[in-house]
Amino acid sequence: MCAAGPVIVITGTPGTGKSTHAQLLVDESPVPLKHINVGEWVKEKGWYEEFDEEWQSYTADEDKLLDELEPIVAAGGVILDWHTCEVFPERWADLVVVLRCDHARLWERLEKRNYALKKIQENNEAEIMQVVLEEARASYPSEIVVELKSETTEDLEANVARIVEWIAVWKNERASEA
């Protein structure tokens, strides 16, 4: 049985443009894709263990999250958008996109979101230290992990075009296998 579409994980430090990329991909993909903003889903569905007051964020109940995502991912045609990726089983992902942004630009974006200074500093340091990129490289085969710069509108457009092209190749390869 062939999945309806690929499973794409879009990850990166908060503020790198994950949700924007995901939504444009939904609009431009040659196959139907469903965008799941995992952080929002965790909040909406109550799949968290606690709310961390200091960091102003939810600690996801990863077991519950994965149990709920499993049938959706198995059907294919989904973009998982989250600031972390190592929680997702390796077998799920067809493509892992790690968005990167210059730390000064990232700082400005997080300030505009009214993040607390400590949270801005922590995320900025994570971006400088390539935490999310290293996590992706450690969790998935190198051939499916792609690092993309996400600083300008031009970057966004080029990234989406590149991923749409990848999806078209994925689709054609599956069609020739059928």
Distance separating alpha carbons of residues 167 and 153, to the nearest angstrom: 21
- Distances from the Cα of 119 to the Cα of 61, 63, 123, 125, 134, angstroms: 21, 26, 6, 10, 20
Question: Is 153 annotated as a binding-site member?
Answer: no
CB atoms within 10 A of CB 152: 11
Question: Is 18 annotated as a binding-site member?
Answer: yes
Sheet containing 34-37: which strands, arranged edge to edge?
34-37, 78-81, 7-12, 95-100, 145-149
Question: Is 174 annotated as a binding-site member?
Answer: no
Question: Is 152 annotated as a binding-site member?
Answer: no
Would you list which residues are annotated within the binding site for ATP?
15, 17-20, 113
Question: Which residues belong to the annotated binding site?
Answer: 15, 17-20, 113
